[in-house]
Amino acid sequence: MARDESGFSHPDEGTLSLEAIFHALSDSYRLRIVRALAASAVPMNCGDLSFGRPKSSMSHHFRILRAAGVLHTTSQGVEHMNSLRRDMLDRRFPGLMAAILGETGQPAAGDHPRRLTPA
């Protein structure tokens, strides 16, 4: 978990908790942050992800997402750059982020989802 060079602490892959991740994703602003980051090819700073809310409020949301292991923050000059920890999440919970972001890759709606009882 150790604080990294930038002074932020990020959980190790081994200590990720699905519960904490779900809690992190159960807020609409945090979900918007995750979706924006997923759609971006490059890391984004906090200001670009503040959706017009006060800095202190958003700082709180970033902290929750960071502590859950959903995103990674690093300092670049005065800015704090954020990116999804997609590789780690995909290793630890394959399919989770894809499902959240709607990148199906799985049978789409209308197709034959796996079902216990035949249709």
What CA–CA distance (Å, rounded) separates 70 from 25?
9
Residue 107 CB, shortest distance to DNA, in Å, is 31
**Under the criterion CB under 7 A, does residue 17 sit at the interface with DNA?**
no
From the list 31, 46, 98, 101, which residue makes contact with DNA (rule: CB under 7 A)? 46
Query: For 92, how many CA atoms within 13 A lie in the half-sphere containing its CB?
Result: 17
| Closest separation in Å from C-beta 100 to DNA | 17
**DSSP symbol at 58:** H
Tokens of 112: 């034959």
Choose the contact partner of 63 out of a second copy, DNA, none; CB within 5 to 8 A by kind: DNA
Please report how close the Cβ of residue 78 comes to a second copy at its closest, in angstroms: 25
Q: Are 29 and 58 in contact (CB under 8 A)?
A: yes
Residues 52-91 that bind a second copy (CB under 8 A): 86-87, 90-91
Q: Does 116 bind DNA (CB under 7 A)?
A: no
What's the burial of 118, exposed, middle or buried (CB within 10 Å: 0-12/13-18/19+)?
A: exposed
Site residues for DNA per CB under 7 A: 23, 26-27, 29, 45-47, 53-64, 73, 75, 77-80
